[in-house]
Structure 1
Amino acid sequence: MDAYQYVKDKEIVIFELDDVLFPEKDYLLQVYYLFAQFIEYTEQKTAQAIIEFMRSEYENGGTDKLFERTAAQFGIDAKYQYNFDLLHQNARLPLKLLLYKNMLEFMQELVVNRKKIFIVTSGNPEQQLNKIKQTEWNGLEQYLTVFFADELNQAKAEIFQNILNDNSLSAEQALVVGANKFDAQQSKLINLPYIVSLEIYR
C-alpha cells in the first residue's frame, strides 16, 4: 500500500519518535549493553550474563524496575542506579539507530513533495534528544522540527494546536503518525487525523 495516499491533501505530518520512526528497543538494548560493560569493568562481574538477563527481563517485563531486578539478580550495589539512569540520557551508542525502512521512504517522499515534518515526543527530553542525535537520518535531519512535550510542560494536543496555528493550517491539513492510544487520544482532542505507524512500516 502506498503510504503517500494518507498525505496527498496534507501540508504537515507530525510523528512520535519511539516505535514510530525506529524501534525503541534498539536504543534501550544498547544502553543495557553499555551498563553491563561498565559493571564488568568496575565490579568484575560478567557482562554477558548481565546483558542476557536484562534483555530477557526487558522483553518479558518491560523497563519498569529493570535496574532493581538486575541488581537483585547479580548483587549490584544500589548506587549504580545513578549510572544506569545517566546512560539512558547520554549514552554514546555503539551502533546508530536506523529508521524503519518504509518510514524512511515515507519521510523522503514527504520532503520531495514539500510537506513539513514535525516530531513531537514525550519522555525525558535529554534522552529523546540523545536518540535523535544518534539516529541515521539519511539527510532528513535538516527538514525536521522537534518539540519535547515534557520540556515544554504541555499536553501533546496543545503542541499540535500550536503547530497548526503557527502554520495557519486547519486540522484537516495535518496528519499525526503515532504508535499508542495516548497519541490517538491527543489527536482526537483537536480533531487531527491520526494513523498508527504500523500502517506505514509493515
Structure 2
Amino acid sequence: MDAYQYVKDKQIVIFELDNVLYPENDYLLQVYYLFAQFVEYTEQKLATSVLEFMRTEFEENGAGQLFEKTAAQFGIDKKYQYNFDLLHQNARLPLKLLLYKNMLEFMQELVLDRKQIFIVTAGNPEQQLNKIKQTEWNGLEKYLTVYFSEELNQSKVEIFQNILNSNNLSVNNALVVGANNYDRQQSKLINLPYIVSLEIYK
C-alpha cells in the first residue's frame, strides 16, 4: 500500500527515532570507530583491530557488554568505560546520519499536506538529542516536535495522550509509527492506531 494511505484521515503522526527514521547501527558503528581511534591514541592499540573486533561482536551479539568484551580482548583499562559511554552521548560523528529513503519521502509528504510530525523517543535524552542534531533532515527539522520520555519521566502512552490533549484530537486523528513491541503496546493502551515502519514504502 502507498504509505500515504495510512494517514490520509490523520492530523498528526508520531515517530520513534531509532530504527524507524534512521538505522541506529549507523550511529553506533561511528561511535565504535571513534572509540577505537581514541584507544589507539591513548594506549597504542591498533584502531583497525579494535574496531573490527567491536563490529563483529556487535553484529553477532549486539551492544550489550561490548566495552567489557573489548577491554578483555585488548587489555584496555576499565577506566575507559567512561570515555566509551561519553562518546555515546556526545560523539561528533564523521558522517551525518541519513534517514531511510522511504521515511524521508513519507515525512516530506506529511509536511506538504500540513500534518504535524512528532518524535517521541526513549533512551538517554542527551544521546538521543545528539543523534537528532547529527541527522540530515533535508529541511524537515523545522517541522519536528520532539519529546524525550526519559527526560520527562513519562511513559510513551502518557506523552501520546498529552499530545492528543494539547491538540484537541482523538486517537482516530493520529498514527504512531514504531519498530518494536513496546511502541505497539504503548499505543494499544489508548487504542492509538499503530504501524511498523517497515510497512511504509513507496
Report if TM-score (shorter chain) is over 0.5.
Answer: yes
Shift in Å at residue 201 of structure 1? 4.5
The residue matched to 2:19 in structure 1 has which SS?
coil
User: What does residue 140 of structure 1 align with?
Assistant: 140
Q: Partner amino acid for 1:58?
A: F
User: What does residue 72 of structure 1 align with?
Assistant: 72
Superposed CA RMSD in Å reads: 0.8
Shift in Å at residue 200 of structure 1? 1.0
User: What does residue 104 of structure 1 align with?
Assistant: 104
User: What does residue 9 of structure 2 align with?
Assistant: 9
Distance in 1, matches of 2:147 and 2:63, equals 24
Long gaps (5+) in structure 2:
none
Long gaps (5+) in structure 1:
none
User: What does residue 21 of structure 1 align with?
Assistant: 21
Distance in 1, matches of 2:15 and 2:55, equals 27
Q: Partner amino acid for 1:180?
A: N
User: What does residue 48 of structure 2 align with?
Assistant: 48
The residue matched to 2:200 in structure 1 has which SS?
helix
The residue matched to 1:177 in structure 2 has which SS?
strand
What is the 5 A alignment of 1:168-187? 168-187=168-187
Q: Partner amino acid for 1:200?
A: I
User: What does residue 127 of structure 2 align with?
Assistant: 127
Distance in 2, matches of 1:66 and 1:172, equals 42
Q: Partner amino acid for 2:170?
A: S
User: What does residue 161 of structure 1 align with?
Assistant: 161
Q: 1:15–1:176: 8 Å Cα contact kept in structure 2?
A: yes
Q: 1:174–1:192: 8 Å Cα contact kept in structure 2?
A: yes
Deviations 1:89-111 (A, max 9, x none): 00000000000000000000000
Q: TM (normalized to structure 2)?
A: 0.99
What is the percent sequence identity of the aligned residues? Answer: 81
| 1:36 maps onto 2:21 in alignment | no
Shift in Å at residue 2 of structure 1? 1.1
Q: 2:2–2:201: 8 Å Cα contact kept in structure 1?
A: no
Q: 1:100–1:201: 8 Å Cα contact kept in structure 2?
A: no
Q: 1:36–1:51: 8 Å Cα contact kept in structure 2?
A: yes
Distance in 2, matches of 1:149 and 1:90, equals 19
The residue matched to 1:13 in structure 2 has which SS?
strand
Shift in Å at residue 40 of structure 1? 0.1
Deviations 1:52-105 (A, max 9, x none): 110111111111100000000000000000000000000000000000000000
Shift in Å at residue 42 of structure 1? 0.4
Q: Partner amino acid for 1:170?
A: S
| 1:85 maps onto 2:85 in alignment | yes
The residue matched to 1:21 in structure 2 has which SS?
coil
